């Protein structure tokens, strides 16, 4: 890899004049690469030895410290030095035998410079070849940068950037964005390899840090084992795509062919160009976000005067508000508590971001439906245009399709709770649908079993949704506290019996059957409940109060599980 920027000691010895140097030790290291040449002027040169450095000396710095010359060879081997040339007979009579033995041991080429040969005659031809190589690399980088910039100036997609970069570095190139989407040219023959590289089936088996001068990157080797007997090893270099404090993903090159330093530099330039494209998209998104946020706030608060203007603005989001429209509110266990400010900030929890992205892609997944989504507090709000005919049934079809899409599209495990308002044809009633969806979601979040609740199916829960949590807790406590306390102390089944009793329409025989308990046992429990509460279940009003309290308790219980 270093040879791209330098010349081996063996190649240097083939150059005119340099070929007069004699190899006196370390012949096995003649393929070490020279990247620069330095003359030793001070005895503490060991502190400054660099990788690829070819050192020349008269021995003058070591005339008073001959032991330092012997220590120089191991130090050069440690730092990756290229070789050592010594001009004897002026300050030292001959090259010390121990130095030759050390050169052989560490495979560091040790050369003897003829007395009549000046250092400049040695340095000039070696550096001439090195500079010529480096100049060709710089030209390659410049031409490559120009080609990549042309892609940007033409406004070509990122897929074309990957394709052109692949041609420049001689290896397949793709981009993986922050959301995990793979961007690669359709003509890339290694699309499947990239897919495997980023699949959940791949496993990192090696991580190696590469260094090119000041450039530090990570080289990954991953193994995909669809068939344990035939594992596929995929090597790749990943370079982050960063602009400011934002990281947009990575540009990735498969190492099908050798990767050189110049290739990494080109990949870094491609990453910079990709960052500019992502930053541009982000800026556009921010503008759209502000426009969408303002629209949703106005629509849901019903804070507008001209309905035609709202209809016109909705068309920019491909929503026709003249058709039946409903509000769907979506929440997940990972979301925080509800707040009221509309936002589409993608710095929130990863589950919310993933859900929001998936909703935005829903129209591509199923073009039967038109919708616009935003985030209000910690809930995702969906304004959905409903097909005419049977709006209520079509709303259920849309909700089912959207839920299926979210569960299949988001890799993170979900526990979705969905509240659905009723569809309305009046624009000003969309805010009512929002309140209905919000109340439905609230009840859904209290339930352990329910995953989605439609407002028109709430029944008596519509009444409960109007009351605050504290009021409901006090209602339950007033009626059922003695029964709950009895169950806690006696490990009893009174509440469970009461729930089943109401589920079977207060039929004692069916209650005993459901509970696998004797009829007299159930009868005893019912009498005990009446005794503890002071309520007769023969009184319709009292029985209704207890039934409502039991249902509220069932909703609360899910929050404690």
CB 63 within 8 A of CB 81: no
Percent of the chain with pLDDT over 70: 86
Tell me the H-state helices in 410-457: 430-446
Residues 449 and 495 in one domain: no
pTM for the predicted model, two decimal places: 0.57
* Closest to 300 (Cα-Cα) out of 491, 143, 433: 433
Residue ending a domain, among 131, 165, 200, is: 131
Q: Is residue 150 part of a domain?
A: no
Q: What is the pLDDT of residues 374-404, one digit of tens each?
A: 878 778 899 999 987 888 899 999 999 998 8
Residues 407 and 530 in one domain: no
Residues 69 and 176 in one domain: no
Predicted local distance difference test score (pLDDT) of residue 6: 83
Residues 216 and 68 in one domain: no
Model confidence band, residue 212 (pLDDT cutoffs 50, 70, 90): low
Percent of the chain with pLDDT over 90: 23
Output the average pLDDT for the chain. 82
Predicted local distance difference test score (pLDDT) of residue 347: 38
The answer to whether residue 214 scores a pLDDT higher than 60 is no
Segment 42-66 mean pLDDT: 80
What CATH number corresponds to the domain at position 55?
Answer: 3.40.1390.20
Q: Is residue 140 part of a domain?
A: no
Cα 521 to its chain centre, rounded Å, is: 58
Q: Is residue 138 part of a domain?
A: no
Predicted local distance difference test score (pLDDT) of residue 55: 92
The answer to whether residue 223 scores a pLDDT higher than 70 is no
Q: Is residue 421 part of a domain?
A: yes
Residues 20 and 47 in one domain: yes
Predicted local distance difference test score (pLDDT) of residue 210: 62
On the CB side of 333, CA atoms within 13 Å amount to: 10
Q: What is the pLDDT of residues 332-364, one digit of tens each?
A: 876 644 444 444 443 333 577 778 778 877 877
Residues 311 and 258 in one domain: no
Least confident span in 106-120, 334-348, 525-539 = 334-348
Q: Is residue 531 part of a domain?
A: yes
CB 15 within 8 A of CB 126: yes
Domain count, the chain: 4
Domain that holds residue 476: 467-560
Q: How far apart are CA 307 and CA 302, in angstroms?
A: 10
Q: Is residue 105 part of a domain?
A: yes
Segment 117-133 mean pLDDT: 90
Residues 278 and 389 in one domain: no
CB 493 within 8 A of CB 471: no
Residues 59 and 187 in one domain: no
Residue ending a domain, among 423, 444, 465, is: 465
Residues 475 and 508 in one domain: yes
Q: Is residue 291 part of a domain?
A: no
Residue ending a domain, among 407, 432, 465, is: 465
Predicted local distance difference test score (pLDDT) of residue 230: 61
Q: What is the pLDDT of residues 280-310, one digit of tens each?
A: 888 887 787 778 778 888 898 888 888 888 9
Residues 449 and 533 in one domain: no
Residues 234 and 337 in one domain: no
What CATH number corresponds to the domain at position 275?
Answer: 3.30.450.40
Residues 345 and 415 in one domain: yes
What CATH number corresponds to the domain at position 512?
Answer: 1.10.10.2840
């Amino acid at each position: 890899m270093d040879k791209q920027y330098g010349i081996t000691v063996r190649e240097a010895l083939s150059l005119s004049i340099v070929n007069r140097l004699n190899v006196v030790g370390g012949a096995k290291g003649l393929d070490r690469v020279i990247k620069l040449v330095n003359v030793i002027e001070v005895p503490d040169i060991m502190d400054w030895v660099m990788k690829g450095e070819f050192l020349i000396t008269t021995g003058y710095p070591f005339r008073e410290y001959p032991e330092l010359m012997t220590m120089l060879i191991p130090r050069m081997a440690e730092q990756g030095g290229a070789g050592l040339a010594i001009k004897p007979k002026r300050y030292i009579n001959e090259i010390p035998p121990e130095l030759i033995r050390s050169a052989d041991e560490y495979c560091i080429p040790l050369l003897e410079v003829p007395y009549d040969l000046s250092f400049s005659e040695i340095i000039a031809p070696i550096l001439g070849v090195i500079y010529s190589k480096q100049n060709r690399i710089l030209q390659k980088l410049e031409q490559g940068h120009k080609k990549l910039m042309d892609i940007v100036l033409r406004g070509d997609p990122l897929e074309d950037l990957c394709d052109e970069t692949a041609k420049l570095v001689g290896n397949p190139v793709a981009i993986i964005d922050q959301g995990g989407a793979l961007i690669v040219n359709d003509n890339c023959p290694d699309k499947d390899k990239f897919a495997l590289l980023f699949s959940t089936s791949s496993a990192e088996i090696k991580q190696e840090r590469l260094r090119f001068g000041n450039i530090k990157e990570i080289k990954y080797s991953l193994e995909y084992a669809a068939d344990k007997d035939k594992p596929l090893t995929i090597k790749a270099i990943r370079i982050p795509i960063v602009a400011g404090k934002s990281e947009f993903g990575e540009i990735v090159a498969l190492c099908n062919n050798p990767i050189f330093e110049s290739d990494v530099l080109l990949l870094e330039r491609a990453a910079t160009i990709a960052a500019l494209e992502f930053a541009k998209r982000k800026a556009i998104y921010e503008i759209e976000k502000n426009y969408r946020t303002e629209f949703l706030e106005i629509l849901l608060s019903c804070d507008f005067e001209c309905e035609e203007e709202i209809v016109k603005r909705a068309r920019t989001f491909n929503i026709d508000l003249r058709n039946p429209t409903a509000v769907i509110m979506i929440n997940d266990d990972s979301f925080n508590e509800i707040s009221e400010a509309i936002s589409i900030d993608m710095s929130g929890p990863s589950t919310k971001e993933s859900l929001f992205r998936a909703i935005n892609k829903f129209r591509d997944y199923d073009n039967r439906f038109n919708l616009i989504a935003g985030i209000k507090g910690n809930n995702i709000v969906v304004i959905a245009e409903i097909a005419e005919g049977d709006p209520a049934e079509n709303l259920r079809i849309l909700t089912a399709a959207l839920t299926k899409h979210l569960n299949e599209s988001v890799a993170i495990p979900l526990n979705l709770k969905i509240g659905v308002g009723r569809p309305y044809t009046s624009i000003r009633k969309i805010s009512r649908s929002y309140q209905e969806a919000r109340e439905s979601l609230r009840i859904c979040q209290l339930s352990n079993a329910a995953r989605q609740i439609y407002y028109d199916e709430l029944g008596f829960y519509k009444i409960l949704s109007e009351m605050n949590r504290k009021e409901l807790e006090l209602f339950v406590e007033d009626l059922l506290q003695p029964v709950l306390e009895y169950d806690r102390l006696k490990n009893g089944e009174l509440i469970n019996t009461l729930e089943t009793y109401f589920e079977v329409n207060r039929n004692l025989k069916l209650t005993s059957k459901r509970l696998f308990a004797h009829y007299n046992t159930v009868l005893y429990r019912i009498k005990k409940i009446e005794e503890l509460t002071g309520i007769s279940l023969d009184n319709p009003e009292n029985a209704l109060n207890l039934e409502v309290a039991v249902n509220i308790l069932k909703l609360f219980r899910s929050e404690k599980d």
